[in-house]
A and B are shown apart, each in its own frame.
Chain A
Amino acid sequence: MSPKTVTDQEILPGSRVLVTGASGLLGRSVAQKLVDLGYEVTTLQRSSSSIDGAQEVRGSLSDPEAVTRAVEGQHAIIHMAAKVSVSGEREEFVEVNIRGTERLLEAAWSAGVDNVLHVSSPSVAHGGSSLVGEGAGAADPEHAEGNYAQTKAEAELIAETYGSAGMNVLIIRPHLIWGPGDGQLTHRIVARARSGRLPILGSGAALVDTLYIDNAVEAFVAGLRRLPAIHGQRLVLTNGEPRPIGELLMGIAEAGGAKRPRMRVAPAIAKAAGLAVEKIWASASRVTEMPGDGEPPMTKFLAEQLSTAHWFDQRRTRESLDWTPSVSVDQGLEKLSEHVRRTGGVL
């Protein structure tokens, strides 16, 4: 018999882990990394995840039978599946983010799965105000803004309920993931910059925390490994390098092969329009939305994120995960730039 892979301190390679939502960049990367490390990985998503060495359960969180099958025999679950866009019917968000989480955790409970890493978002705890060195407060569905944040807030509370019932639940809230292969933030910034339509708001000095994709993957692996020892916490996850948003946007645009966005000084515009800065950004981005951009962009959400300070206290996160980011923002920009050069302009 192989040595025990799950202790009251650690979940080690060899353990069976279910990853939901493995079709996105983060889910796919985490699942792949776990496979590489020797975990027995199962993925649950609608389309094929095509991860070498992982077992696949095809299906959605709305399918109780698929969920039951997926959780069977797992040591741990990383629950990443969610509806992340900012528009769409509220019902869709409720179905995936709230009911989906309920179904998954209920099935896990019945199947005796002890460990759940629930992936959430810092937006579940805050409204639109600026966040300066913020901790990880409780999820607050009433004050979270928009369908995504509200339903994710509910989902977190559900996860915490299972946690207080005895399940080992760890909540991780990554903030603004970017890097090669990111079809969300990175893609949008570069695409806009390439078409010369990336405005920078006001002074562009608002400090914002981001998270380079490789660091995110390593942190999730660390979180899974240490889950039995550190469960019961909420951890915001970032690079811990708050940077002025203008500098970040310029850096990502340039790394993506676009010209540096021209600084647009908002106060004059804001004055003319009689609107607050973030509203200008929000409405400006709606108006200039490229037709056929596919999935409705996160522009309004992004606007709020990017026009005011959003950075977090990372001390507890790093201590709990026993992890520090291995790629700095500057190194990340270089990696992105290299990637774009190598692929001839593809992000």
Chain B
Amino acid sequence: MAKLKAWRSIPAAGARLPTEHIAAEGAFPGLDPKWSRLVTAKTDDGAHTFHVLDTGPELAERGITPTGTILAVHGNPTWSYLWRRVLAASLEQAAEGRAWRVIAPDQLDMGLSDRLEHPEAPAAEAESYRRFEQRLGDLDGLMDALDVDTSVPLVTLGHDWGGVISMGWAMRHADEVDAVVSLNTAVDHPVDEHVPAALRAAMAPAVLPISTVETEGFLKVTLGLAEGGLESAVKKAYRAPYTSRWGRGGIGGFVADIPALSEHVSRPVLEETSSKLTQWQKPTLFLWGPQDPVFQDRYLADLLERLPHADVHRFEGSGHLLAEDRNIAAPLFTWLDDRFPAADVQEDARSGLRSPEPAGEVSRLHDQLEHLTMTWRKASPAVVDMGVAEDQERAVSWDDLAEKVDALAVGLSELGVSPGDRVSLLVQPGNDLTVILYACLRIGAVAVVADQGLGLKGMTRAVRSARPQWIIGAKPGLTVARTLNWPGRRVSLDVLSGRQAKLLGTVASVERLLRSHSGRSPQDLPYPAPEDPAAVLFTSGSTGPAKGVLYTHGRLGALVALLRQQFAVKPGSSLIAGFAPFALLGPAIGATSVTPDMSVTKPSTLTAVAVAEAALAGEATMFFGSPAALRNVVATAGELSAEQRDALGGIYLVLSAGAPVHPVLLDQVQELFPEAEIHTPYGMTEGLLQADISREQVHEAMTSGPSGEGQPGVCVGRPVDGVRFALAPLDAEGHPVEQLVEPADHVGTLGEIVVSAAHLKEGYDRLWLTDRQSRRDTYDGLIWHRTNDVGHFDAEGRLWIQGRLQHVITTPAGPVGPGTVETPVDALDEVARAAAVGVGPAGTQAVVVIAEPEGSAKALRTGRSPLAQPEFARTVREASEVPVSAVLVLEGLPTDIRHNSKIDRTRLAEWAAEVLAGEKVKSL
């Protein structure tokens, strides 16, 4: 970049872009010239003319009285154009009676507002540039000049430095402002922390005038931050006020006003704002783009520390120009409607909602642990870890476990882990993880469990979204955390050498904390309350980025109560945990949990021998596994010795969770576990156990009905105690309707399955909008969860699941669940398994069957094309009740990563759409 030789003064006069430009056809796509007005306001250095986008006049013209006012403040180097879609959406819904007047000014020296005179180049100490303090005064003057109805709610909305300014202004008018909303911003910048690189470059004194004023550098970089790039017309609109050097003085001024250093002139106002925010109790919403190189997640974390009550939605994949990337108007107005309900809406319709009674008595997660140490069982094993080398202690007694948990609880607490702190656990399931988890739960720290099934990319996203204060991990996990710069102070599992500790940046080790706090009791530390957060788990991410799911102590306690009730798990029971979530609950239930020797990421590697050895070591009575694990256990049964076989005979309950299981596999499992009852419960990360069915009941269901062929989909049984199901029938476009209905009144109707239970999630983490949508129902005064699964209930009250909502095929004859087509096709001799997907536009989709052949694919397809032979296509069409357009043959249908058993219909649908459009056939 060229060095700036001499500053040429920027005169004030005539530098404002004439507002007539606004009216030019197509000059500012999405901006209605009617919203544009010039307002002269008194400021601390005299009157200035501001350009303002304001829906007030149009509302007045339509005779609509505003229900509230939104003051929307842009940042640098955008202008009020940023808010055009909020203005448009506000007017659209104004007709329905929720009329928010949106006032979006261009800040002084920015957009189409007055330009200032700049005899000197922009710099931190240059006086001709607008300061934070002055900008707050500008807003005062503007709000005085505009005729704002003070009797209705006032909400501020900001982005970038407009976020800070709008919140700074709100804090000074805390009595009049009723809510604050901001997109990516920051209210504090600790002077000891480094400024984000992107901004640092622009702020260097030598560079600042050149990058911001002399050239369009800063402008172009910012506009380049939009996800997928801006449309050229939109980009042109953003650039319009800043195409000349005279127009860009404000851009330089804004950058110069960033109070990164403690002696900066604007630092006091920033500190005033950030400290006042900690007192702010009124509604607050943050809409955040995590891919922002400037306003990174750490600034969101800072905001949430000040405003723990704030609602947050992080739009995964979006960045700095969130307002361009996503529709922010819809969540904004939904939130405002919730927070400022119309007079005719019952005020506490939402806040009065409750969950059904738990299945059994809910106790604290530590009660059993503490109780068992006082019984004769105290020396019996609480946890057995078959992954530990044989020469080391595999079993930990209840006494020892309780002591270790206590010691670590005290140790973590003294290290500085506080109640509410989030702790990411990068430790393999086993004894160590159990100790750490219960120590965290004891002191009220929130366990963040991002499992390796998410893949490295997914885990990174998950950890970033949960933003833990701490990471506890084994070396491999910490290395990844360090390399990928995951947030959180790091604690290692084992004692590390000084060099390693430095390399990995750890501040302590679990091993040493245990040793140094041995024998200590956390009796002075309060127990967390039922409503306190306990853990964040993650969904498998098979339909979009993995979502964080937040559980409270009370809700996990309800789950424990349910497990004890449903499967008669009790003290003295011993469970082999081939499915991680249940292993962690063992101590809370009071059951011994045995971790078999297996790779967590590859459940399909669990062998029959490993299960038998675990059964022998832990005197196991129960085995929990995933379908993939069960498949391999059956496949490796031949390796069992007679003694090992006998050990399996001692197991009286086998649970398979996570995905549907084929009845044939269930029968094979039964042969291996002759004394066991085999169950395949239905649930999800958001509610681990909702319905249940035994092997016998599966067979009964599948031969039920007049023709003895069962029904479409997979039968998952009836609701377990404490669970209520409701149904949201699908409309012609395949969308679930809003009004929930009783399953018993709508037998056979395809719909989204909606559930209510005490052991459901507390909410989605930092996904306010997703959470709001998932729990939008108020039916029967209950808190509901939209599962996104579709299915139907039969006359016996059994639930049949057909797939995910996005897998529904919307034919001209109505929506069709994939199971309706798949179930009869699966039954064909030639077919190992089949997927049904839709191609074409919603509402007029064609049904496509993709069959995985039982034997060779060659006999069923035509040459090398996946197209089925006409004879096979005819067989499939005759089997299906629904017209099938095309039949394709594919060896090996793709499945999900975590469970390795759910058919990935989304991928198949994309593939089929290309094949059936006549494009070249790609391999999957």
Contacts and interface: CB of A to CB of B under 8 A. Distances in A.
A203 B870 CA distance: 14
Given A133-B840, A313-B841, A315-B844, A203 B917 contact: no
Interface in A293-318: 307-309, 311, 313-315, 318
A26 B919 CA distance: 33
6 contacts: A202-B920, A205-B921, A206-B916, A207-B917, A244-B885, A247-B867
Contacts of B839: 132-133, 207
Contacts of A313: 812, 841, 843-844
A174 interface: no
Given A205-B916, A313-B841, 19 more contacts: A133-B839, A133-B841, A133-B844, A202-B920, A202-B921, A203-B918, A205-B866, A206-B918, A240-B812, A242-B846, A244-B886, A260-B870, A263-B863, A267-B920, A277-B920, A308-B918, A313-B843, A315-B843, A330-B874
Nearest to A308: B918
Contacts of B915: 203, 205
B888 interface: yes
Closest 9 CB pairs of A and B: A206-B918, A133-B840, A203-B865, A308-B918, A313-B844, A263-B863, A133-B841, A309-B917, A130-B917
Given A205-B867, A263-B862, A247 B873 contact: yes
A309 B885 contact: no
Contact of B862 (A204, A241, A315, A318): A204
Interface string B542-566: 0000000000000000000000000
A130 B918 contact: yes
B521 interface: no
Contacts of B916: 205-207, 244, 309
Nearest to B913: A132
Interface in A229-278: 240-247, 250-251, 260, 263, 265, 267, 277
A168 B768 CA distance: 54
A202 B918 contact: yes
Contacts of B864: 265
Given A132-B917, A241-B885, A203 B841 contact: no
B863 A207 contact: no
A242 B811 CA distance: 12
Contact of A246 (B843, B865, B885): B865
A193 to B, nearest CB: 14
Contacts, number: 101
B496 to A, nearest CB: 56
A309 B867 contact: no
Nearest to B862: A263
A132 B865 contact: no
Contact of B918 (A205, A267, A315): A205
A324 to B, nearest CB: 10
Max count, chain B CB within 10 A of own CB: residue among A202, A205, A263, A309: A205
A130 B917 CA distance: 6
B844 to A, nearest CB: 4
Q: How many A residues touch the partner, as a band?
A: 20 to 34
A317 B888 CA distance: 29
A201 B916 CA distance: 13
Nearest to B847: A242
A205 B812 contact: no
Interface string A209-234: 00000000000000000000000000
B605 to A, nearest CB: 36
Max count, chain A CB within 10 A of own CB: residue among B862, B864, B913: B862
Contacts of B920: 202-203, 267, 277
Contacts of B874: 330
B844 A265 contact: no
A205 B886 contact: yes
Max count, chain B CB within 10 A of own CB: residue among A247, A260, A311: A247
B844 A309 contact: no
A252 B67 CA distance: 66
Contacts of A201: 918
B844 A203 contact: no
Interface in B277-334: none
B866 A203 contact: yes
Q: How many B residues touch the partner, as a band?
A: 20 to 34
Interface in B866-880: 866-868, 870, 873-874, 877
A309 B888 CA distance: 16
B601 interface: no
A242 B913 CA distance: 13
A204 B921 CA distance: 10
A277 B888 CA distance: 20
Contacts of A207: 839, 846, 885-886, 916-917
B126 to A, nearest CB: 58
A237 B845 CA distance: 17
Contacts of A314: 812, 844
A267 B874 CA distance: 27
Interface in A187-210: 201-207
A250 B870 contact: yes
A277 B918 CA distance: 9
Nearest to B877: A330
B571 interface: no
B883 interface: yes
A144 to B, nearest CB: 20
Contacts of B840: 132-133, 242, 311
Contacts of A308: 917-918
Contacts of A205: 865-867, 886, 888, 915-916, 918, 921
A191 B528 CA distance: 83
Contacts of B841: 132-133, 313
A133 B865 contact: no
B921 to A, nearest CB: 5
A88 B877 CA distance: 43
A139 B874 CA distance: 37
A318 B867 CA distance: 29
B862 A206 contact: no
B168 to A, nearest CB: 52
A263 B858 CA distance: 14
Nearest to B916: A207
A204 B920 CA distance: 10
Contacts of B846: 133, 207, 242, 311
Contacts of A330: 874, 877
A205 B863 CA distance: 12
A133 B845 contact: yes
Contact of A203 (B845, B877, B921): B921
Max count, chain A CB within 10 A of own CB: residue among B883, B885, B921: B885
A132 B841 CA distance: 7
Contacts of B873: 247
Contacts of A243: 885-886
A279 to B, nearest CB: 13
Contacts of A130: 917-919
Interface string A73-84: 000000000000
Contacts of B862: 204, 246, 263
A245 B916 CA distance: 9
A229 to B, nearest CB: 21
Contacts of B888: 205
Nearest to B867: A205
Contacts of B917: 130, 132, 206-207, 308-309
B883 A241 contact: yes
B870 A247 contact: yes
Contacts of B913: 132
Interface in B364-407: none
A205 B839 CA distance: 13
A265 B862 CA distance: 10
Contacts of B845: 133
Contacts of B919: 130
B776 to A, nearest CB: 29
A260 B867 CA distance: 15
B867 A244 contact: yes
A191 B22 CA distance: 66
A209 B885 CA distance: 10
